[in-house]
Amino acid sequence: MRNEAKPKNWNEVKTNDSWAIFKIMGEFVSGYEKLSKIGPCVSIFGSARTLPNDPYYLLAENIAKKITENGYGVITGGGPGIMEAGNKGAHLAGGTSVGLNIALPFEQHDNPYIDGDKSIDFDYFFVRKVMFVKYSQGFVVMPGGFGTLDELFEAITLIQTHKIGKFPIILVGTKFWKGLMDWIKETLVQENKNVSPEDLDLIHLVDNEDEVLEILNNFYNDSELSPNF
């Protein structure tokens, strides 16, 4: 006789969901307490699969060094690839190196270049993304996959809908990003009118560390905005 699964106790499921709120609250509290002390930082995003000998890895490392030498710290997702490169550059330049780690079934492990007191672990992606947005003075987005695109478009959406203050979003790698940006401008902006031209004003396409630093400095020198904490 076939074994039949016992019906779920939906009242118990609902109770467990309710208790999860306290774990979520704990992640927010821990993140806020630690990150509120770090000073102005820039988040660097990109693929966890990028190898140390890849030109984009080396470029991310140089970008992190450059912006750290000019007073910014660096926040990454704490893992390998581009994230490691960002933390490595900040570490080598003697600056603040923050890692917002999350447990994943593959790819993710802490890289060794995060400051010992600035490595924070998360279970929830949405909590982690709040920390990136709240405590970053800019996003530097290197070539990456779905996770990188998710973080990029969430930031753009929050700025577009005035849920957060404006900050520069810098896409690094013209060859990688040009096709996406052309599609956004030609299809979303011009053809379908689903995006306003001014929504793209804060998105910059660059290829080197000097351009990244120039955009960051110009934004905060020319605007009345101050770092967001």
Domain boundaries, the chain: 41-222
Q: What is the pLDDT of residue 19?
A: 84
In this prediction the pTM is 0.88
Tell me which of 44-58, 89-103, 113-127, 214-228 is least confident: 214-228
Q: What is the CATH number of domain 41-222?
A: 3.40.50.450
- Which of helix, strand or coil describes residue 93? coil
Q: Taking the mean position of all CA atoms in its chain, how far away is CA 121?
A: 15
Q: Report phi then psi at 227, rounded to 5.
A: -50, 145
pLDDT at 75 over 70: yes
Q: What is the pLDDT of residue 15?
A: 63
Could you list the beta-strand ranges (E) of the chain. Answer: 41-45, 73-76, 97-102, 119-122, 139-141, 169-172, 203-206
Q: What is the pLDDT of residue 225?
A: 46
pLDDT at 105 over 90: no
Helix 209-222 vs helix 55-69: angle between axes, to the nearest 10 degrees? 40
Distance CA 214, CA 70 (A): 11
Q: What is the pLDDT of residue 51?
A: 97
